[in-house]
A and B are shown apart, each in its own frame.
Chain A
Amino acid sequence: MEMKRKEFIAFTAPSMLIMAALMIAPLILTFYLSFMNFTYGSNPQYIGLKNYIDILTNVRFWNATAFTLLITAVTTFAKIAIGFGIALLLYNITKFRGIFIAGSLLPFIVPPVVGTLIFGWLFRQHWGYVSYLLNQIGIDISWYADPWAARWLIMMHVIWQGTSFVFLVLYAGLQAMSKESLEAAVVDGATYFQQVVYVIIPYLKPLFLFVTMIMVMDAYRLFDNIAVMTKGGPGLATETLMYYNYQIAFGRLSLGAGSAISVLTMIGIFILMAPFLYWTYKEQTEK
């Protein structure tokens, strides 16, 4: 007994209505505002593409874009590599699994603001424990004052926070994997490394795609840790697109320009996501 269209509409209506009112309507409004000169307190004036031109010719926008892309690429790759490694390790372990999973979940589940604070405190110059440990072995890095150190600090935090999601998804995939293909490979004399590369990775390909897509989406929209840890600093070294957007829209109250940045960010995300959606579509239709 298939669900009728009428029933479908009735069941989804409340949800769709709320999303339309509180998500889609503002979205359209933001588009509209991006073509306006609008500061809070005055009336919007239509200025066409001026906001877009101003932003696209602004170095600060491109710096933010470059850093956002850097974070996205580096942290996604690291999270997948480490997460996959952990999944493989845990697959071979029999004891303490529950505790391990619970512990490694914490950075991911706890509010990002809290995670940022407790992570960031460790790297403070004079009273951060990690800084102290590094000093003991002769390394003295000014994590907050040096632009590249600050960038790596942010990236390390992102990796610390998000790897467990990758690990969990891949680990679940491993557990669902049938043993026959692995057994066949071993019978053929495959080494462990070959088993991983030729059996496990191809099997997990859809999951790799999925986590990569999610991690790319999340990295592109980083805000909480920048706002709490470095506030885009030193200078503008760690400013991401979202933070730049926040500064322009709510710091300077240029809501029109802020809207334009949001739209441009959205276009960026679509460009990034397009290959993933295409691959996922191909995966689905190949089945």
Chain B
Amino acid sequence: MNGLKKFFVLRNLTVSTILYSLLFLWFIVSIFPFFWAFMTSIKHPVDAFSMPPVWLFEPTLNAYKALWIDGEFMHYFNNTMFISIGSVIIALIIGCPAGYALARYTNASSFYLLLAALVFRALPRTLFILPFYFIAQVTGLFDTRILLMLIMVSINQPFTIWMLRSFFMNIPKSIEEAAMIDGCTRFQAFRYVIVPIMGPGVITAGIFTFILAYSEYFIPVVLTATRAATMPVAIAQFGVDNVKEWAISAAGAVSIALPVIIIVIIAQKYIVEGLTAGAVKE
């Protein structure tokens, strides 16, 4: 990297300043809405609505109290967590063997399966959900968390498997082959040799599967009413033009975003790895 730096001649301080400024600009653009929502959530409504904006004000946690303690947000939070964590567990249990198999099986059908995975990812969700709308009503599974969880697992499987496959491709075949030469079945080799070392890849795939399930709006909004509704559904009801309860919906937005922000800060490495894995290593 040092050798290359010579070629991008940055001795010119003006150029350097411009570069940093542009990046800083984008950084601000990216996080300003979050900052603003947070400010709104801790302002008294009279401060929140005043333009020009009030920067010095008396903060309040009224909105959060109304949301979490007086309101039903806890219920939606529980639903979201139950569905998301459940999805991840199931998705990984069935996805890891599948991803591993796709990484090792070099026959052409492996390629076609991957192609199918990409195609499924591209399809509009309505294609899958529409029948569920009335199937769920008829079978009494409408507005249940289990149904949501299973559908999320299924719909995100192509992506999960794709990501896991690219991580398994980085584990040399020799590792499990050594075990199999010693007499293990493939499954034993997988269970006792591969599983212990696939940690980082699984964590990354798990994070993404979690975020996908956590953020899902279309599927819950169609398939739930009140019992199994998730946080995205709950907060979308406030809408962008809700004036009366702006502070509360801002508090909701912050509450929903917070776990994800924490994940980004703690697991940034994994997220970046996951986003670029499919692309760069192809």
Chain A residues close to B by CB (< 8 Å): 1-5, 7-8, 10-12, 14-16, 18-19, 21-23, 26-27, 29-30, 33, 40, 82, 85-86, 89-93, 96, 98-107, 109-122, 124, 126-127, 129, 132, 144, 160, 164-165, 168-169, 172-173, 176, 179, 182-183, 186, 192, 195, 206-207, 210-211, 217, 220-221, 223-224, 227-229, 241-242, 245-246, 249-250, 255, 258-259, 261-263, 265-266, 269, 273, 277
Given the complex of chains A and B, what is the CA–CA distance between A7 and B107 in angstroms? 13
**Known A12-B97, A26-B130, A164-B30: A169·B40 in contact at CB below 8 Å:** no
Q: Are B130 and A255 in contact (CB under 8 A)?
A: yes
Given the complex of chains A and B, what is the CA–CA distance between A176 and B187 in angstroms? 35
Task: Kindly report which residue of chain B lies nearest to residue A21, judged by CB atoms.
Answer: B154
**Known A111-B232, A118-B36, A265-B126: A173·B279 in contact at CB below 8 Å:** yes
* B169 at the A interface (CB under 8 A): no
* B69 at the A interface (CB under 8 A): no
Q: Are A113 and B97 in contact (CB under 8 A)?
A: no
Q: Are B276 and A89 in contact (CB under 8 A)?
A: no
Task: Kindly report which residue of chain B lies nearest to residue A269, judged by CB atoms.
Answer: B122
Q: Are B19 and A89 in contact (CB under 8 A)?
A: yes
Q: Are A121 and B37 in contact (CB under 8 A)?
A: yes
CB distance from B206 to the nearest CB of A (A): 14
CB distance from A55 to the nearest CB of B (A): 13
Given the complex of chains A and B, what is the CA–CA distance between A101 and B241 in angstroms? 31
* B265 at the A interface (CB under 8 A): yes
> Which 9 residue pairs across A and B have the least CB separation, nearest first?
A111-B215, A22-B154, A11-B101, A172-B276, A15-B98, A118-B33, A120-B240, A14-B94, A29-B131
Q: Are B127 and A263 in contact (CB under 8 A)?
A: yes
Q: Are B126 and A262 in contact (CB under 8 A)?
A: yes
Given the complex of chains A and B, what is the CA–CA distance between A2 and B154 in angstroms? 28
Residue in B51, B137, B151, B221 whose beta carbon sits within 8 Å of that of A22 in the complex? B151
Chain B interface category by residue count: 35 or more
Q: Are A109 and B211 in contact (CB under 8 A)?
A: yes
Main secondary structure on B side of the interface with A: helix
Q: Are B130 and A105 in contact (CB under 8 A)?
A: no
Which residues of A lie under 8 Å from residue B37 when comparing CB positions? 117-118, 121
Q: What's the count of A-B pairs with C-beta under 8 Å?
A: 307
* B89 at the A interface (CB under 8 A): no
Residue in B40, B238, B268 whose beta carbon sits within 8 Å of that of A105 in the complex? B268
Given the complex of chains A and B, what is the CA–CA distance between A207 and B215 in angstroms? 26
Which residues of B lie under 8 Å from residue A117 when comparing CB positions? 37, 235-236, 238, 240, 249, 253
Given the complex of chains A and B, what is the CA–CA distance between A11 and B97 in angstroms? 5
Q: Which residues of B (132-189) have their CB < 8 Å from a CB of A?
A: 132-135, 137, 150-151, 153-155, 157-158, 161, 173, 177, 180-181, 186-187
Per-residue CB proximity of B240-282 to A under 8 Å, as 1/0? Answer: 1101001001100100110011011100100110011011101
Q: Are B265 and A192 in contact (CB under 8 A)?
A: no
* B197 at the A interface (CB under 8 A): no
Given the complex of chains A and B, what is the CA–CA distance between A8 and B165 in angstroms? 13
* B129 at the A interface (CB under 8 A): yes
Which residues of B lie under 8 Å from residue A2 when comparing CB positions? 104-106
Residue in B32, B122, B214 whose beta carbon sits within 8 Å of that of A217 in the complex? B122
Which residues of B lie under 8 Å from residue A126 when comparing CB positions? 49, 51
Q: Which residues of B (97-127) have their CB < 8 Å from a CB of A?
A: 97-98, 100-102, 104-107, 110, 113, 115, 119-127
CB distance from B101 to the nearest CB of A (A): 4
Q: Are A127 and B30 in contact (CB under 8 A)?
A: no
Q: Are B31 and A103 in contact (CB under 8 A)?
A: yes
Given the complex of chains A and B, what is the CA–CA distance between A43 and B103 in angstroms? 46
**Known A104-B26, A122-B36, A217-B122: A15·B272 in contact at CB below 8 Å:** no
Q: Are A115 and B33 in contact (CB under 8 A)?
A: yes
Which residues of B lie under 8 Å from residue A206 when comparing CB positions? 282
Q: Are B232 and A18 in contact (CB under 8 A)?
A: no
Task: Kindly report which residue of chain A lies nearest to residue B30, judged by CB atoms.
Answer: A104
Q: Which residues of B (9-44) have their CB < 8 Å from a CB of A?
A: 10, 19-20, 22-23, 26-27, 29-34, 36-37, 40
25 sampled A-B residue pairs with Cβ under 8 A: A1-B173, A7-B101, A8-B105, A14-B94, A27-B127, A40-B137, A85-B22, A92-B10, A96-B23, A102-B268, A111-B215, A116-B240, A117-B240, A119-B33, A127-B51, A132-B52, A169-B280, A172-B276, A182-B7, A217-B121, A221-B122, A223-B217, A228-B217, A255-B134, A262-B126
